[in-house]
Amino acid sequence: MITKKCFKCLVEWPLHFFYKHSRMKDGHLNKCKKCAKKDSNDHRANNLEKIRKYDYDRFHYDSGRRERCFENSRNYRKKYPDRYRAYGIVNNAVRSGKLIRLPCAICGDLNSHGHHEDYSKPLEVVWVCALHHHELDRKK
């Protein structure tokens, strides 16, 4: 297995822990995904107002971008009607108090998502954080 050392955390990781980058000699960035995400989150936190304005302008003044966002949403609803319906039912149940959002069942993170094992049973959800939600979806 090919490995690479992150210049930020100094840990040697398998190559798939690094983002691809065409200008690097081995084709991958020199910092691991974990460090890259931390840097990105730190930058956003330190420049929040500037970034919010940029995001707002990009969405509201680039009509092509806005239309692509709406089109992607429409396509998702058409492609996965059962998922879309289940998400809506969970959202409404949480808002009305019928369903209570719990911390992640795996790590305890308070920012959790409702994971459906079966979309035909929309109120049967497992509350997991985004990271564990993606892991559970990949296992499906």
pLDDT the model gives residue 74: 96
Q: Spell out the residues 6+ positions from residue 128 whose beta carbon is closer than 8 angstroms to its own.
A: 104, 105, 106, 112, 113, 115, 136
Mean pLDDT, rounded, of the chain: 93
Q: What angle do CA 10, 8, 133 make, to 5 degrees?
A: 95
The amino acid occupying position 134 is H
Question: Tell me, what DSSP letter sits at residue 23?
Answer: T
Q: Picking from 51-55, 80-84, 115-119, 131-135, which range would have the lowest pLDDT averaged per residue?
A: 131-135
Burial of 13 (0-12, 13-18, 19+ CB in 10 A): middle
Confidence check: pLDDT of 140 > 80: no
* Mean pLDDT value across residues 37-51: 96
pLDDT the model gives residue 118: 93
Question: How confident is the model over 61-94, as pLDDT tens digits?
Answer: 988 998 999 999 999 999 999 999 999 999 999 9
Confidence check: pLDDT of 1 > 90: no
Q: How far is CA 51 from CA 58, 63, 100, 109, 131, in A?
A: 10, 19, 32, 25, 24
pLDDT the model gives residue 131: 87
**Beta pairing partners, 89:** none
Q: Is the pTM of this model over 0.85?
A: no
The amino acid occupying position 13 is W
